Structure 1
Amino acid sequence: MAKAVRIHTAGGPENMVFEDVQVGAPGPGEVRIKQDFCGLNYIDVYHRTGLYPLELPSAIGLEAAGVVEAIGDGVTELAVGDRVAYAAPPVGAYATERLMPWHRLIKLPDSISNEAAAGMMLQGMTVEYLIRRTYPVQPGDTVLFQAAAGGVGLIACQWLKQIGATVIGTAGSPEKAALAKAHGCDHVILYGQEDVAKRVREITDGAGVPVVYDGVGAATVDGSLDSLRPRGMFVSFGNASGPIQNFNLGTLSAKGSLFMTRPTLMTYTASREDLVESSTALFDAYAKGLKIEINQRYALADVVQAHKDLEARKTTGSTLLVV
């Protein structure tokens, strides 16, 4: 019988249970996947805690890679035996087997392993929409990326260097700073020891940056805004330290007619066309040397410990749950 991680009530990591589930035959437009690896992402924490509410009880997880075992009626672009990956709803990626709508799946090229795909799809396509579509970074731009040693951050540092940007990153320790630098970050600010905005102004000769990418949230919003040049863009794409609340829009005018956006991967890959375009751009960057650092692996049954380590900021790069 298949097994999956499910939550019956929102809350801490211990609220996740690893239990038997029935996976039936695929219906019209569906495929059944035997999964090899599941990606661990901070959005999974938001779902587990109820910050992003799910209808409970619920499966959890948005990213995995595996092999197509069966196809339903109307599925013409995939076949049994194809290797596929995804980073998309419906939730339920933390599972040994599952059903998925075919149009949310990406067939993997021979050059990308299932393991690499499970470590790159959500974080890599997040970087794609952030730096290519939310604020299209141009060669010569200087950008600030908060939490540069995280999974998204390490991919972003490398991809931004491929574009020709100068990257300022933040990190919480000298070890994480060294990791960010090793992946292309030009300047790393230790946010616990330095004034981020002050250092950004020093690095940019007082000008500030045109864009800040911030997946941390409440703890970094002030430093991010103060690092922007006039008419710069604050891109808030995550809440690792908690959500930004009670924000006064007048702050944007006071700090230089700033722009602010809260994008999501799900919006930027909502259409099949956008999903394919995003994954293709990611695979192209990978072919040009983008490295996916899978620095932690846990058995799927050990998902509770994996979530504890993620929330304690003990992880770097990508983390996989091995089925």
Structure 2
Amino acid sequence: MRAVHVTEAGAPSALTLAELPEPAALPGQVVVRNAAIGLNFIDVYYRNGTYPAPYPLVPGQEAAGIVTAVGEGVDEITPGDRVAYATQLGAYAEFTSVPAAKLVSVPESVTLDDAAAVLLQGLAAHYLSHTSHPVASGETIVVLAAAGGLGRLLVQLAAHRGATVVAVASTKEKRETALAAGAHHAVPYEGFAEAVRELTGGEGAHAVYDSVGAATFETSLKALRRRGTLVVCGLSSGPVPPFDVELLRTSGSLYLTRPTLADHVPDAASLRAAAAEVFRYVAQGVLRPEVGARLPLGEAARAHELLEGRGTTGKVLLTP
């Protein structure tokens, strides 16, 4: 089968197309023919060495497709089923062997492209807005990188839950995209803390969702009201440097969290329940995944360049 291979950490050019053996259906595993592969910034972290990885590897953690084979002990899934998965390395390939516990069913009301575009970021947007900081009606919520895949979904869910959403994005076009997604206000990065305070009568936001990291961390803190919450949900500009925890006290008894999907969706039952709710939101039009670019598997390096350079809004997909 064709797959994207990485032998050592490096630039996007480290992603090369290779012929690898098609995986077998081992006990407890399911082989999926991938129809659409979703790109996420965590793929960049594995490729460039930010996150340790067992090289050589086939990167990618999210896809949707059709089951072609099931291993011994798998009873609830059969060949021909429409499924999606996330958090399983090996998605940049024509076929991937996935533990059955990591698969979720894709209803007929959701296309496989939409499933691949929404699953991982939809699960993230779900826990970020439901448990990391449970967004409440009447709150003011700030979303950074609001025109990106995760950002747009967060905007949609926060608005659906009754919050006033302030989107932060780098260009006029991206701010217009965020407004179209449901944001009530859209501002540039420069001076966004001051803009948020002006919009809230000087009080600040109840929560800021910051997927940028190092470049925006301090400004995000300044955008919060007393006892507000900063949710660091990405590090696209690099890791947040060490800081004095007293800064949280002197800035208004602020809360800070750096959540992960594994702690909010820790088992198969919670995964399938959350995914079912995400797909219901898609079917109802609450979540509206947007595919910003669709590239063939052999152009994975170009896809990473788009992702890192913020060269597109919405989700980047690879097609085998």
Distance in 2 of aligned mates of 1:209 and 1:247:
22
The residue that corresponds to 1:56 in the other structure is 55
The residue that corresponds to 1:310 in the other structure is 307
Distance in 1 of aligned mates of 2:16 and 2:224:
43
Per-residue CA shift, 1:212-241, capped at 9, x if unaligned? 101000011011100111111110010011
CA RMSD of aligned residues (A): 1.0
The residue that corresponds to 1:233 in the other structure is 229
Instruction: Check the 8 A contact 2:206/2:224 in 1, yes or no.
Output: yes
Distance in 2 of aligned mates of 1:25 and 1:287:
33
In structure 2, list runs of 5 or more residues that go unmatched. Answer: none
Instruction: Check the 8 A contact 2:23/2:95 in 1, yes or no.
Output: no
Q: Given the alignment of the two structures, is residue 283 of structure 1 paired with residue 279 of structure 2, yes or no?
A: yes
The residue that corresponds to 1:27 in the other structure is 26
Deviation of residue 269 (structure 1)? 2.1
Q: Given the alignment of the two structures, is residue 113 of structure 1 paired with residue 105 of structure 2, yes or no?
A: no
The residue that corresponds to 1:143 in the other structure is 141
1:96 to 94, 97, 118: 94
The residue that corresponds to 2:262 in the other structure is 266
- Answer with 275-284 or 168-177: which moved more: 275-284
Deviation of residue 154 (structure 1)? 1.0
Runs of 4+ with deviation above 4 angstroms: none
Which TM-score applies when normalising by structure 2? 0.98
For these two proteins, the number of residue pairs brought into alignment is 319
Per-residue CA shift, 1:174-219, capped at 9, x if unaligned? 010111001101111111xx41111110001111111110100001
Which TM-score applies when normalising by structure 1? 0.97
Per-residue CA shift, 1:272-316, capped at 9, x if unaligned? 122112112211211221211112111111000110111111011
Distance in 2 of aligned mates of 1:88 and 1:266:
9
Q: Given the alignment of the two structures, is residue 178 of structure 1 paired with residue 176 of structure 2, yes or no?
A: yes
What is the letter of the counterpart of residue 293 of structure 2? Q
Distance in 1 of aligned mates of 2:18 and 2:140:
48
Per-residue CA shift, 1:48-101, capped at 9, x if unaligned? 111111011111000001100000111111100001001122x11111011110
Change (3 A) 1:24 1:158: closer
Identity %: 41
Distance in 1 of aligned mates of 2:77 and 2:234:
33
The residue that corresponds to 1:78 in the other structure is 77
